[in-house]
Structure 1
Amino acid sequence: MVSGARKQATMSTLLTKTKGAGRSGLALLCAMGLWGCGAARHSHAVDPRSELPPLVEEPPAPKASSTPEPSRPDEKAFGARYATPAQCEAAARGLLARSRDQGWAALKSCVDRTHFTQLNALLSDAWAEELRVRPDAAQVIAHVVALRGGSVSGELALLHARRVPIFGLADAIAQPDIYKGRYLLLRAQVADVRSDEDRPTVWLVEQSLGSVEREQSAGYTTRRDSVSVRSGNLDGAVGSFGLSNVGGQMATRDSESHSVTLPRYDNISDETGREALGRLPRVDPFFAPGKDFVVLARFDGLRTTSGGDEGDEDAPRLPVLSIVSYFPPHPLVVY
């Protein structure tokens, strides 16, 4: 009984002290385990399967599209997928309708990985805008011209018909002020290379492309030789010698041959009489003397040759070019 009374007194004392303490007093009582605070707080059962909503609502999952997004083609692998340049160009044109960058990258792969000679397709309306705005469009055109054999004079006529601003060396020499800073395309042979502080200067001799005809055998050649011999005796009077008998032989030889040939034309390059100085950004061992190249360059103007006077209008001048790119011409020419 004493212990029970003492316990009750202790309880009364604690209640009296916690009346002014508010929530902190209740928390202390709960911590001492004197009241069943936990049981009172969880008197309502909670389904453990229920979940609280997230603080930030997650965006809905994107719907699957029936049309896949076009992937960027590998510039080196795209052209290798097609058997002919025409098929490759058609596929690149189809890709151009979805993405201009991807279509142009695919076309460059066609030029690099196939024997691309489709200059008319390249100059079509489908690629007109790309040829106008792409900074590497002139290099692609020069590469195609080289793959077609490097007949530059004829190809420039096609380019000018489509208003492509690439010109010839003769135009720049005739009107240097008009063509300064513009692209020039020429077929040239490297005559000499001189290096000056890792900025080599190349002596270029412009070449024109012609052809020479020759006969090439086709099939078998037949030949027949025959010899005929005739012999006999002749009797009769021979002048003052009276009667005589003359004998002898006569041989004839016949020869006959048959052959089938086809005309063939070999391409030859000949100097036009125009020369130029080309500047390369760095030394290139493949740009060697004695070889022909299709050269794309910017026209920097005319420079008076050594020994001439700058003030003399009749002093010999050479065009100066900044070489952008060059390509070896294919031995077969596409007309």
Structure 2
Amino acid sequence: MTRMWGWLLLGALGGGCASSRSAELLPEEGRASAPGAGRMAPTAEGFDAKAFAAQFPNPAVCERQARRYLPVSRENAWSALKACVESTPFTQLQALIDRAWAQELRTRPEGASLLAKVVAQRGGSVEGDLRLLHERKLPLFSLASAISQPDTYKGRYILVRAQVGDRRSEGEKSTLWLVEQDLTSVPQEVQLGTAHRRESTFTTMGDVGGQTSLGSGTVGGSLAQTELSRDSVTIPAYDNMSNETGREALGRLASQDPFLEPGRDFIILARFDGMRTTSGASDEEDEGPSIPVLSIVSYYTPHPLVVY
């Protein structure tokens, strides 16, 4: 993939981070509870969020227990929720964006990153999950929206599923060429159970006699025929395939990150810094097309299974 890089003087902001399903075990909920009205909540310094989350391997139960801390200590409740997301296969986006956590998600600096991580753990269906966030007026937006109205979305958070197409480094700073991806469901037939194969062989033999100018004679021979048949039952199955959307962007990192590998999908949270005009493709062209510029805040590897 050939790209134009010479025209850009880019600064950088951001950093990187890394990545990662649920039955409800209701008896677990009795293990711990928030402090009662007559008891003082532990201070933020004295609250062990990791130990709290370790009690509740079921993510739905973990979130409900964290929610019980909200009336007595929003700081401890938020720490507990973050530990639930970090320590369990948390995919409960609807519970996370419920009204109970709305204030924390809008005001906490790490709120957007927490949402991005959960979207990745749900399989990275960015378009579908953004619709859920927008129903709750949570300010994460798509790359398509930013490109269509750059002045409106400049400075706002963008959530994008993308692959790294190319990379350029200058000192510690790094600039990535990002190729946006979306998920397409591709059907295929999958065998169910055991297939049965039958093979039959038929052989026919005979002799033919006759008179020729050279005298009488006999010719013998045989004919073999084989028939094969196979019986099996199949069901339709669907695989999620990643495809390019045609939209691209430049992603800026404050430092080089070897884990952002080319050819792999990532869920990237970034700040939209506006559009930059590329140089022309030939000497006669003064300007090329504009491309969005993003400052990468965090990124996560999407789970291979998608939660809808």
TM-score by length of 2: 0.75
Given residue 256 of structure 2, which amino acid in structure 1 is its aligned partner? Answer: V
Distance 2:100 2:253 in 1: 33
Matched, 1:297 2:249: no
- How far residue 289 of structure 1 moved from its aligned partner, in angstroms, is 1.7
Q: 2:242 aligns with which of 266, 269, 280?
A: 269
Matched, 1:217 2:201: no
- How far residue 94 of structure 1 moved from its aligned partner, in angstroms, is 1.1
SS of 1:190's partner is strand
Matches within 5 A, 1:39-50: none
- Report what 1:143 is aligned to: 117
After superposition, the C-alpha distances for 1:100-159 in whole angstroms (9 at most, x for unaligned) are 111111111111011110001111111111112111110000000000111111111111
Matched, 1:334 2:283: no
SS of 2:183's partner is strand
- How far residue 181 of structure 1 moved from its aligned partner, in angstroms, is 0.5
1 or 2, which has the higher helix percentage? Answer: 1
- Report what 2:49 is aligned to: 75
SS of 1:181's partner is coil
Distance 1:313 1:157 in 2: 39
SS of 1:288's partner is coil
SS of 2:294's partner is strand
- Report what 1:89 is aligned to: 63
After superposition, the C-alpha distances for 1:151-191 in whole angstroms (9 at most, x for unaligned) are 11111111111111111111111111111001100001011
Distance 1:119 1:212 in 2: 25
Given residue 104 of structure 2, which amino acid in structure 1 is its aligned partner? Answer: E
SS of 2:166's partner is strand
Matched, 1:98 2:72: yes
Q: 2:155 aligns with which of 181, 186, 189?
A: 181
SS of 1:140's partner is helix
Matched, 1:323 2:278: no
Q: Rate the CA distance shift 1:256–1:300 in 2: closer, same or farther, 3 A.
A: same
Q: Rate the CA distance shift 1:251–1:195 in 2: closer, same or farther, 3 A.
A: closer
Residue identity over aligned pairs, in percent, reads: 56
Deviates more, 1:217-226 or 1:174-183: 217-226
Distance 1:201 1:328 in 2: 19
Q: Rate the CA distance shift 1:307–1:255 in 2: closer, same or farther, 3 A.
A: closer
SS of 1:333's partner is coil
Q: 1:126 aligns with which of 74, 91, 100?
A: 100
Distance 2:165 2:305 in 1: 23
Q: Rate the CA distance shift 1:304–1:77 in 2: closer, same or farther, 3 A.
A: same
Bigger-Rg structure (1/2): 1
- Report what 2:31 is aligned to: none
Matches within 5 A, 1:160-239: 160-227=134-201
- How far residue 75 of structure 1 moved from its aligned partner, in angstroms, is 3.0
Given residue 263 of structure 2, which amino acid in structure 1 is its aligned partner? Answer: G
SS of 1:200's partner is strand
Given residue 160 of structure 1, which amino acid in structure 2 is its aligned partner? Answer: H
SS of 2:187's partner is strand
Distance 1:176 1:211 in 2: 30
Matched, 1:286 2:246: no
RMSD of the TM alignment (CA)? 2.8
- How far residue 225 of structure 1 moved from its aligned partner, in angstroms, is 2.6
Structure 1, gaps ≥5 residues long? 1-64, 233-247
Distance 1:315 1:249 in 2: 75
SS of 1:283's partner is coil
- Report what 2:280 is aligned to: 307
Q: Comparing both chains, which one has the higher relative contact order based on Cα–Cα distances under 8 Å and sequence gaps of 6 or more? A: 2
- How far residue 251 of structure 1 moved from its aligned partner, in angstroms, is 7.3
